[in-house]
Amino acid sequence: MSRSYLIGEKHLIAGGGLLRTIRLQDEYYVSTGAPEALISAIRSSRVPADVFTFVQELDEPQPKYDYLMEWDSRAVVPITTYDHWFKNQITFKPRNKLKKSQKSGVEVRVMQFNDELIRAIGKVYDESPIRQGKRNLHYGKDFETLKSEHQTFLDRSDFIGAFYQGEMIGFAKVTHSPKASILMNIVAMISHRDKAPTNALVAKAIEICAQKRIPRLNYSIWGRQGLNEFKAANGFERIDVPRYFVPLNWRGRLGLALKLHRSISSYVPERFLDKAVRLRTKWNEYKYRKLREPATSDFSETTRSSAGVR
């Protein structure tokens, strides 16, 4: 079970089993700053953690510190202008999908953060209890929970909505910094996949970053499977940045020596992971088959009981 801590002005989260690891709660959206000072503060705070991990920023791909390091792979698109991205960085397939999206009547626009947006986000999430074969952790969440989760970094974020016939069928939250922006969330209704709303949302995010003169956009991690083909077709590239692991006590030193900080999946051949993913998808489709119908809630401002899975 994970727990949050406030150390100095930094919000951190710690969790794990045999080896408890602590990191910045929003490590991809905030800067670590001077790691030495933060490491010292963590040790002085006596939080129950064995290892502190942090990443360098995207514009610093070369290792700067002497701590134990591994590579953190991110999906990043370099940005100059929207036209350059559209004409030179994406393949013909997403280019055609964008044209198809526009012809089908999908409209994309920046949204204000308000109760109307939260209710629309709830309807997008509640379309299905599973996504990409995995349990949809946002399915069935009440209004206040969704509002609390999505109101982070409002001073430097844009919400983008994709609309079809007046209904929001997808949204994205883009959080900015001077050096890079990140797609903090991007979700579209499965029933409207034929209208390519996700492509339209990515394109609008690129346009916003270009207007703000932000040189790169991060679309989460560059994984071993899944969305990589979609990301590559839309101009995203794999960028490796250093991730460091710093022992905080003797358990941390021993755990790092035994490589206990790595996930079990990192030792499993990809072909076996692919099989496991397919089995997980089939299991989730069977487990949540009775919840596949869209939620009927109107997402009123009062808290509702969740019919879905937490």
Handedness of CA 71, 184, 299, 126 (dihedral sign): negative
So what's the pLDDT on residue 270?
Answer: 63
Which 8-state DSSP code applies to residue 88? I
pLDDT value, residue 306: 31
- In the chain, the percentage of residues whose pLDDT exceeds 70 is 83
SS3 category, 294: coil
Which pLDDT score is estimated for 303? 29
What local confidence, expressed as pLDDT, does residue 308 receive? Answer: 33
Q: With beta carbons less than 8 A apart as the criterion, state whether 159 and 113 touch.
A: yes
- The residues near 169 (Cβ < 8 Å, ≥ 6 apart) are 106, 124, 162, 163, 188, 189, 192, 195, 197
**SS3 at position 61:** coil
For the beta carbon of residue 259, count every other beta carbon within 10 angstroms.
12
Closest to 173 in 3D by CA, of 188, 162, 189, 157? 157
pLDDT tens by residue, 48-73: 999 999 999 888 889 999 999 999 99
Q: What is the pLDDT of residues 233-252, one digit of tens each?
A: 999 999 999 999 999 999 99
pLDDT averaged over consecutive 10-residue blocks of the chain (310 residues)? 88 91 92 92 93 92 94 95 97 95 96 97 91 80 95 96 97 95 94 96 98 95 77 95 96 94 64 62 58 42 30
Assess contact for 136 and 188: CB atoms under 8 A.
Answer: no
Q: Which domains does the chain have, with CATH numbers?
A: 3-72+241-262 (no CATH), 76-238+274-291 (3.40.630.30)
Q: Residue 252: what pLDDT?
A: 96
Q: Is the pTM of this model over 0.85?
A: no
What's the pLDDT score for residue 105?
Answer: 96
d(CA 97, CA 111): 23
